[in-house]
Amino acid sequence: MKDYTDEYRKQEIKSAKAEITQIEAAMLLATNNTLGCEIHIAGLKIGICDNKKILPALKHHKREIEKFIAGESNMYE
């Protein structure tokens, strides 16, 4: 059972690191306001007029994932 748990944790960390890469890419794109930015919530699409306003949410999410990877209490799990 321990081997399964360890392997599952390793897989979850790999997925979390992949998500961090996606967040970093989104943060880079969001710094360019000439690109359109949308938020999708339950199928609803909302355009953002100033892409930089989304950066704090992305940074927060990235920090929560980093806490998960470090084994700290987080909101990502």
Mean pLDDT of 4-27: 95
β partners of residue 39: 46
Q: What is the mean pLDDT of the chain?
A: 93
Among candidate residues 69, 70, 61, the one with its CA nearest the CA of residue 24: 61
Asked whether residue 54 carries a pLDDT value surpassing 80, the answer given is yes
Residue-wise burial string across 21-41, b where 16 or more C-beta atoms lie within 10 A, e elsewhere: eebeebbeebeeeeeebeeee
Q: Rounded to 5 degrees, what are φ and ψ at 49? A: -85, -25
**Model confidence, pTM:** 0.85
CA pair distance 33, 68, nearest whole angstrom: 31
State the pLDDT at residue 77: 86
